[in-house]
Structure 1
């Protein structure tokens, strides 16, 4: 089957934009509405968001289903419709939550369950399709393009929804949410329509020989692959370190550097802009430095993790130094390094998944589930770590220093895992030469 051209990759990027747009609505806008407009406990939306990550443990099931059917498109469309339905249910639950109705809690839980399932089905199948149909030399660029388009979808949706939702009312929220999810589903369906083509006959690799196994044997087969197992652990550790900083960077800037809310928000903008810069560098410029080969992607991945660890060590030092530390430059370095490792890791993920013909979906599903667990735990562990550190030491700088040091250590371990296949390949080449 002919690999996807740039137009096909852009079309799949539009699907990622649509997913990001709906997820932003469900996890960001609804969070603010529950806490600010309806004075609900902040733990409620936080718990619902954590639950939607927990539901994404189903990703291997969705990926395995698309493997067995040899088709990704129906699963992507099914996931988008499920995601849209869950978001609308969550919106409609807010009115009942405001009056503390038990049906509101039940409806919100069902809505966020569908949101998690929809993200898992659509996102896993989309990544499996990219892994299957994108040529190896274009994987880093495809990862950069699709993730950049996802962020663009979030930004555009946030701007449009923010402009239309004022003056706020529940009915206006329902109208805006309905418009966003309808537009996102239509864009995704149009973008993915006929881009996959007809399924080609699959000649199984030795590791995937025989008829398609059921889910349990397929999962065991995948886990028996040492490279795939190490990559799963790498995804968990790197994404755990990546997400631990999410909820503490702005409080860090406010508590130790006296940043105002507006200044800390701008600092977050600097970080995200730097993430995009790192993604673009690897995706479109990394080929000049070996970023198109599997070995090159591993080096970029490890380099991004090491640079992230270094930036976090800088923040730990900044926690001790106080206002004299160049915080903005440090945060920009952290964002840039995060962007480098994230896109390189996604490119490597596509390559490792495509090496097992007919098993791309379950591999992407396992790695997606590992990422979901890490994201669900990371933000909570970072915030809890600060609270526990302050309680034990009585020192805010000590608490932040400890958490940043732990994040840095996790990134160093992840870098070692990323380099291990490269080290083994080098040893094998030396042995053959001898």
Structure 2
């Protein structure tokens, strides 16, 4: 890809993480996913349907939490230099949990006092963004620097599958526990979720970092470069730039339905809060299955050729576009359209695309000439965060505007789903070059097929 990812003389100084340690990092990812789910699905639905607010309001709050994550490169760089990623992981998840509780209280306050409630919500989503950025970036950097090159893609698949499993489990559980719905019950469930996820993170990371190997630039004795030099190195790598653009466009497409899927289920199909939350769980279940399929099948393809994951990335994007086209039909037909199956298939395509892209990202993370994994994962995390914020906000604002102009909920959702499908098709085109063999070998001093092993 860029610099060699496997070199017997400099890269490996210990065995690195085994599968148990990788699963423990996956538990951290699951905790992050479960806590974020509360803010981006449950509270989003409550604000739009139960409180009758414009979809742009929760979308703006979620976009703000992504904007805060522009600090990911700084947090990643700090964990590179501090040589203690565990405290960043635990601290980040704790801040995220606190933000989730404040966001729940802010949502309840919005029902009676909009201005104080909104002010509290801004603070809450600031904490959520900081927690995700600091904890999530450090966890992925620890994974990238502590796992042998031949395991990186598989390790990424395992941890992200566990993250989605955490989202699915929490969505189904929270959806069941908040019925019959009341604000008091919502606050109790949110408090239990926060306490459980912070506890799980502390247990999962206990004495974990000492098991890490030293691979990529973590194996070098030289200090990590300063922040500006690290960013400059990454920006001047053409392959890294192309991959960043692909991540940006694909993640906009990936996130456009996030904030409108549950309101869509409530407004067009008449689903109750618990039912629409469980629908979100079906979407995440599809993502989980897509990741498992790609984690198994993609490893076989990538072991034979460096661009073996390209067909999975492109195929996932196209499948997602087709499923969104079907959701557009559902929007104008309503019941008895098989909404659950449609959403599950959308998740399946999303999962296939996502895990293949993550495999490439993990390979790139340790490929810098001087930069360490933390800052590189931070840069791609920031790009992803910007895209998620823009995508979610675009979807929500688009629905608000379309509902006002068209005067029909179904037609409004159909239009937005169609735009999202087009974005996925554009991402498929970009993926051909971003994940192709030529791109993967650009600027590389040594070419290794272990990148995607």
State how far apart, in whole Å, the 1-side matches of 2:185 and 2:318 are: 46
Question: Offset of 1:193 from its aligned partner?
Answer: 1.5
Please tell me whether the aligned partners of residues 26 and 90 of structure 1 are also in contact (alpha carbons under 8 angstroms): yes
The C-alpha deviation readout for 1:333-373, integer Å capped at 9, x for no partner, is: 54333211100111111110022265111111111111111
- The residue number in structure 2 matching 1:131 is 144
Q: How many residues of Structure 1 are paired with residues of Structure 2 in the alignment?
A: 426
Say whether 1:403 aligns with 2:419: yes
2:167 to 154, 176, 188: 154
User: Does the residue aligned with 1:213 lie in a helix, a strand or coil?
Assistant: coil
Change in Cα spacing, 1:189 to 1:222, as seen in structure 2 (3 Å) is same
Supply the distance in 2 between the matched residues of 1:315 and 1:94 (Cα, whole angstroms).
29
| Partner of residue 236, structure 1 | 248
Q: CA deviation at 1:76?
A: 0.5
Written as runs of structure 1 = structure 2, the 5 A alignment for 1:57-96 is: 57-94=70-107, 96=109
Distance 2:154 2:214 in 1: 27
* Change over 3 Å in CA distance of 1:224–1:12 after alignment to 2: same
1:190 aligns with 203
Structure (1 or 2) with the greater helix fraction = 1
Pair 1:425–1:202, CA change in 2 (3 A): closer
1:132-184 per-position Cα deviation (integer Å, ceiling 9, x unaligned): 12233333332332222222222333344444445655554443322221211
Question: Deviations for 1:4-63, whole angstroms, at most 9, x for unmatched residues?
Answer: 111111111111111112112233333344455556555433322221111111111111
Aligned twin of 1:121: 134
Aligned to 1:276: 288
The equivalent of 2:28 in structure 1 is 15
| Residue of structure 2 in register with 1:31 after alignment | 44
Residues 135 and 79 of structure 1, relative CA distance in 2, 3 Å threshold: same
Q: CA offsets per residue over residues 238-278 of structure 1, 9 Å max, x none?
A: 111222244566788999xx866489988766544332221
The aligned residue for residue 6 of structure 1 is 19
1:97 aligns with 110
Unaligned 5+ residue runs, structure 2?
Answer: 1-13, 446-453
The equivalent position to 1:44 in structure 2, one of 57, 69, 76, is 57
CA distance in 1, matches of 2:270, 2:23: 39
Distance (Å, rounded) in 1 between the aligned partners of 2:213 and 2:176: 46
SS at match of 1:295: coil
1:349 aligns with 2:361: yes
Q: Give the whole-Å Cα distance in 2 for the aligned partners of 1:245 and 1:251.
A: 10
TM-score, normalised to structure 2's length?
A: 0.78
Deviation sequence 1:113-147 (CA, Å, 0-9, x none): 01110001111111111111223333333233222
Identify if the C-alpha distance between structure 1 residues 148 and 112 changes in structure 2 by more than 3 Å, giving closer, same or farther: same
Q: How far apart, CA to CA, are the structure 1 residues paired with 2:433 and 2:293?
A: 23
Q: 1:187 to 1:294 in 2, by over 3 A?
A: farther
